[in-house]
Amino acid sequence: MKRVRCDSWHFRLGTALALALVVFAPNVARAERVGTIEVSGGGGWRVGGDLKGRKDKVTGDELSDLHFESSASYGASIGRWMRPDTQFEILWSRQSTNVTNPKPYDGEAPIDVDVVVDDFLAGLLRYSGRAYDRRRWFGGVHAGLTKFGFEHETEYRFAMGASAGVRVRAATRARLRLHVL
């Protein structure tokens, strides 16, 4: 029988999330009641984009535009109902993407690096309707840190965002949340 090593942080994170879901699963039946805690995981697709070039603050040189590829993301959240229509949420999300400079300036080296983007956010979500409604629309604001990591460097930046979406009761103990953040 082949022995498999399970010492990666991905395995430890997955195990921790699975245990948290088992521990907090009874609370899902009482979801949306004040004081209830919810733990969930999720996945999505992040649209890429371009950052326009700017001047380097130290040398004054023009920097080329950067292009971020679209890619999948995944994450987890833990939330606590503060009121029947308000939930405080802590959210972690991770995206691995590729960054290039499609048109480097003269003398500038081409860039083609893989980047990992981690978001650590906290915020409030406000829901419409009543807790027993099948569908509840929501909106919210989040603030926190975004960590950019590539090769041997990491950088943290302040992040702030708004979200909107709908929460659908899929079953007695399951909710499905679709949102844009």
Instruction: Assess contact for 54 and 63: CB atoms under 8 A.
Output: yes
CATH architecture of 9-180: Beta Barrel (2.40)
In the chain, where do the E strands start and end?
Answer: 37-46, 49-51, 66-68, 71-83, 86-100, 112-127, 135-150, 153-171, 174-180
Handedness of CA 105, 106, 112, 116 (dihedral sign): negative
Report pLDDT for 1: 39
Residue located via tokens 């004040």? 34
CA–CA separation, 164 and 174 (whole Å): 20
Domain residue spans of the chain: 9-180
Phi-psi region of 42 (alpha: psi -120 to 50; beta: other; left: phi over 0): beta
- Of the chain, the end-to-end C-alpha distance in Å amounts to 45
Q: Residue 171 pairs with which residues in a beta bridge?
A: 174
**117-132 confidence digits (pLDDT tens):** 999 999 999 999 887 7
Tens digit of pLDDT at every position of the chain (181 positions): 333 344 455 556 666 655 555 455 444 445 578 888 988 888 888 888 887 777 767 777 777 788 889 999 999 999 999 998 999 999 999 999 998 887 777 677 788 888 899 999 999 999 998 877 888 999 999 999 999 887 778 899 999 989 999 988 887 777 788 878 6
